[in-house]
Structure 1
């Protein structure tokens, strides 16, 4: 697990590499360069990587962030190491930003027992009056084809659970771009985005607290999590935003439509995955913190859901065959350890537990195991037990099928 920081560029986490696989977009146009907010003169300089931004965006009034180069996004952040033991933690402390009245600090940690990344983002009101902002975690994922960077990855996917009581039509809101963008689909309660090279921004009022990004070409995945706060005021109700970079249709001076630039230096292949906090009203000197977690793992585009233990592709199945129990499923885990099956009878009483296979986040998990049972098993739950013996939760729980065959 390797994290690359560039403190001078707005305190960015520029790259995350897991098992040799890089996840984030790094803009080659600005690689090795620094353009100060003064030099940018109002332009947005997109270096890539991961950072935090304020919401809402816009130029309506002082309560909107213009999104241009400012100390929040382009200022030099002070970098310090807080710990280097079983848990490594760094701090990135940004300069004050007078237009918003904010100062950002981020503490980012990784442990020695798993590839989990923990983010603690702190916003401080540096003014003498109250202000209100949302904190937005913005991560740019690389969408170029690994074998040919001039092409894009046609098998890259993003997922977010739909809110069953969504305020948006169809469970999501297309904020910018084509309303019928072929990238978007909904299935089994999941919003699914199969990336295409068209600019678009889509908002979701998802309450699940997670999104997943899956590279179908390599089966590397990333899950980003944060806590959804029920009843809180999210900016325009959006807790999750996906932004697709790409050309878009505009009108020229004669009112005729045209497609904007496909030059990769001007319009590179990347997508933003954004987690939003609720709006926070801060008194002078007051702070607000947003915590989020990243879990690199492995998964195919067949993703069905995410649990505390990992990703679920082909859901757990348990079949009784000739008195033996056949367990199957495909998963990606967040922690190294082993799978354990807990067996229950029809009354819900536990009748036994069986250790299954060893697992680790860098390997896709294909469960196909037959176990012998001496009692009638009606239900099975498969949990991930990490390398320290801690139960990290279930990857699936199902009713056993075909139970009459063994009687």
Structure 2
């Protein structure tokens, strides 16, 4: 099932059966998100199936999705994905209420979590309201981690409230970046790697899209305290063995927003909200300059 939301110049396409993904954000007919065109057509229809295995086995459909953090493969307190057959690629139940679609995953026995993704289309963008609930009978500790994939080839700009950028993953190298006062700029480049931004001011822009989110100054965040992470990838001659045989399908930029690590007793939950604003121009100012 594909669900379309239309409002003004915007059109959102959602596929609940595919990990509750937002797979299309079109502004005046122009697609903003990256989507794997070898797997899905413009109508977002294709073969949907839960996917598991090593990172090299991951079927990357693209779009916007939510994962648990921290990521890792050393124990049960780390999420060993993607792939993931429940939270990333399993079917979500969907309810449509006007301009809002709420999608809910099945309970995941590995993490103990059930995800809810509520997406509301607005006149100038959309809002994501995310929730992770402990459906297990044990105490668990996780953070919400939202990943938005966009076609590569442009610079990423993010606000800084204080100095703080860290190298997190160097698949083929560490992404180069520039700090210009209260702005971080990550130029377009062919590299497979990730930066963390512990000093984020709570906004990041790419092309016509700006994501805004709250940062808890007292919160404990994964990945060296990073509420924002920026991942770059590009096609390679062969898969990266050191990253589980990851085989990038295209030039892709990921804007990754994280909530704080939260200890959850059975039945408790944690939430994260992200405001996505779509602009006419390709260089997005910070929300305070709007």
TM-score tier by shorter-chain length is 0.7 to 0.9
Q: Partner of 1:89 in structure 2? A: 100
Say if 1:96 and 1:121 are closer, same or farther in 2 by CA, change over 3 A: same
Contact 1:201 1:244 survives alignment (8 Å): yes
Whether 1:272 aligns to 2:259 is no
Which SS does the other structure have where 1:192 is aligned? Answer: strand
Q: Partner of 2:34 in structure 1? A: 25
- TM-score between the two structures when normalised by the length of structure 1: 0.61
Q: Partner of 1:315 in structure 2? A: none
CA distance in 2, matches of 1:248, 1:135: 30
Q: Aligned-pair distance for 1:234?
A: 0.8
Contact 1:45 1:69 survives alignment (8 Å): no
Q: Partner of 2:209 in structure 1? A: 222
CA distance in 2, matches of 1:8, 1:250: 31
Deviations for 1:66-105, whole angstroms, at most 9, x for unmatched residues? 01222000100111112x2xxx111111111111000001
Say if 1:250 and 1:174 are closer, same or farther in 2 by CA, change over 3 A: farther
CA distance in 2, matches of 1:298, 1:162: 24
Aligned equivalent of 2:188, options 195, 210, 215: 195
Q: Partner of 1:184 in structure 2? A: 177
Q: Aligned-pair distance for 1:308?
A: 4.2
CA root-mean-square deviation: 2.5
Q: Partner of 1:78 in structure 2? A: 93
Runs of at least 5 residues in structure 1 that lack an aligned partner in the other structure: 144-152, 215-220, 254-259, 311-407
Aligned equivalent of 1:240, options 228, 234, 239: 228
Q: Aligned-pair distance for 1:188?
A: 2.6
CA distance in 2, matches of 1:174, 1:207: 14
Aligned equivalent of 2:76, options 62, 65, 69: 62
- TM-score between the two structures when normalised by the length of structure 2: 0.85
CA distance in 2, matches of 1:106, 1:298: 27
Q: Partner of 2:138 in structure 1? A: 129
Superposition map of 1:7-406 within 5 A:
7-31=16-40, 32-37=46-51, 40-42=52-54, 43-67=57-81, 68-82=83-97, 84=98, 88-111=99-122, 114-143=123-152, 153=153, 156-164=154-162, 166=163, 171-177=164-170, 181=175, 183-214=176-207, 221-235=208-222, 236-247=224-235, 266-301=248-283, 305-308=285-288, 310=290
Contact 1:139 1:274 survives alignment (8 Å): yes
More strand by share: 1
CA distance in 2, matches of 1:286, 1:122: 10
CA distance in 1, matches of 2:67, 2:232: 17
Alignment length (residue pairs): 268
Contact 1:198 1:248 survives alignment (8 Å): no
Which SS does the other structure have where 1:74 is aligned? Answer: coil
CA distance in 2, matches of 1:266, 1:108: 28
Mark the structure with the bigger radius of gyration: 1
Runs of at least 5 residues in structure 2 that lack an aligned partner in the other structure: 1-9, 41-45
